[in-house]
């Protein structure tokens, strides 16, 4: 199996929604998929079909609970096995962070317990970088997807932290999310980021802003089901196709050739 981490350097980048969408789209392509919520916001389950925020999950394993970390998983209608973070208060979140700082290999050991076939994938939605969760996920990941809205602050913080984001063992790709081509400022911000990161690190498939996306999520569905011919639906399927191709190449030992 391969591990893909999704992170961002700013809040509101759309990282969790993209992680959930990729999990669903890859599962529909026949891949065994585990989606791991590694963020104390604990919101990923809502996008995958849960009616309420998951009460228990990874956090309780981090805090030394009697049950194993994988005791509270859930499989959605598309076959995605979801591992929630679980609800914690501020003190609990701080204790989880402290445990991760003290045990830098915690996530890696936990993922080693997942039994997936070679073509399976674990998608880890992390807290935004820098955080102990993001650092552990990046160190473990075969591929890190950095989700970046094409805004000056998001592009600047991503550019400034590229060295640290590339510190893991795997490949890094920047995914531009919520693109509005009519905005000159966005084009300028992306040009700056492209110049710093290099064209090879920028995924060519970008995700355009679409008002139908939050509307579909509010209805508990996906834009690629509600509006399959929309630009955003095309974009999400394009990113999923790229990831699916990358996974096939990675299993065959030639992931670096995928562009």
User: Quick one: which H or E segment has residue 6?
Assistant: strand 2-7
Does the pLDDT of residue 61 top 90, yes or no? Answer: no
pLDDT (mean) for 193-212? 94
Residue 246 has pLDDT above 90, yes or no: yes
In whole angstroms, what is the distance from residue 1 CA to residue 116 CA?
6
Q: What is the mean pLDDT of residues 119-145?
A: 96
Long-range contacts of 60-63 (CB under 8 A, 24+ apart): 60/86, 61/110, 62/95, 62/96, 62/99, 62/100, 62/106, 63/88, 63/92, 63/95, 63/96, 63/99
Domain at 227, CATH number: 3.40.50.300
Determine the pLDDT at residue 71: 79
pLDDT at 217: 86
How far is 152 from 190, CA to CA, in rounded Å?
8
Classify residue 202 by its DSSP letter: B
Range of the domain at 230: 2-257
Query: So what's the pLDDT on residue 178?
Result: 94
More confident residue, 256 or 197: 197
Q: CA separation (Å) from 230 to 18, 98, 114, 151, 183? A: 16, 44, 36, 23, 20
Is the confidence at residue 195, as pLDDT, over 60? yes
Instruction: Say how many domains are in the chain.
Output: 1
């Amino acid at each position: 199996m391969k591990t893909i981490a999704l992170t961002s350097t700013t809040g509101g980048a759309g990282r969790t929604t993209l992680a959930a969408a990729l999990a669903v789209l890859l599962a529909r392509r026949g891949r065994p998929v585990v989606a791991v919520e590694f963020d104390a916001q604990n919101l990923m389950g809502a996008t995958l079909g849960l009616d309420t925020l998951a009460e228990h999950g990874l956090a309780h394993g981090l805090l030394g609970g009697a049950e194993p970390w994988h005791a509270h998983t859930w499989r959605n209608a598309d076959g995605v096995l979801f591992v929630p973070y679980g609800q914690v208060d501020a003190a609990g979140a701080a204790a989880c962070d402290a445990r991760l700082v003290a045990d830098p290999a915690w996530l890696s050991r936990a993922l080693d317990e997942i039994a997936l076939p070679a073509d399976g994938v674990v998608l880890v939605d992390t807290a935004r970088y820098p955080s102990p969760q993001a650092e552990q996920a990046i160190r473990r990941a075969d591929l890190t997807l950095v989700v970046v809205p094409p805004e000056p602050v998001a592009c600047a913080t991503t550019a400034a932290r590229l060295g640290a984001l590339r510190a893991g063992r795997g490949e890094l790709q920047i995914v531009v999310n919520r693109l509005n081509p009519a905005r000159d400022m966005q084009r300028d911000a992306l040009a700056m980021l492209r110049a710093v990161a290099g064209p090879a690190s920028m995924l060519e498939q970008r995700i355009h802003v679409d008002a139908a996306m939050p509307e579909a999520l509010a209805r508990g569905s996906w834009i690629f089901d509600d509006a399959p011919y929309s630009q955003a639906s095309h974009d999400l399927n394009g990113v999923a196709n790229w990831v699916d191709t990358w996974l096939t190449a990675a299993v065959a030992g030639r992931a670096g050739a995928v562009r």
